[in-house]
Amino acid sequence: MEDHGRTPDNRAALIASIALLLFSALTGLALVGWFHRNDQPWSWKSVLAAGCALLAVTTSALVWKTPTRNHAVLGIIVMLVSLARIGSPAEWTWVSFALVAVTFVLLMPLVHAAIVLRPDDG
């Protein structure tokens, strides 16, 4: 099977970029459900989710176009900050547990990219 010149670094960056795009799409889908279900959908939680979805798309482009460790770490931070919207564990429902599980699964490619990519030289 041909690899078409892809190095492990490029492959890790591509997979991390896809994980960020998937995270952003799932967050957007969750926001659609949130807005459809609630009478007062705008809160700090929805603003945080929308901001993290937009930052995830931006970070995905950075990881894909200029793959560096700092960009992968930025993606990790964006995904972890988005978890603040689920509240304290006393308030969790099955949706909260699913959100945490999916987020951590999508974090795995970013952690791998942060390990294998070169640091910025600046």
- Residue closest to 78 by CA, chosen among 45, 107, 97, 56: 56
pTM comes to: 0.88
Give 33-76 pLDDT, tens digit per residue: 989 988 888 999 999 999 999 999 999 999 999 999 999 999 99
Tens digit of each residue's pLDDT (9 = 90 or more) over 63-75: 999 999 999 999 9
- Torsion sign across C-alpha atoms 16, 17, 18, 21: positive
- Predicted local confidence at residue 83, as pLDDT: 93
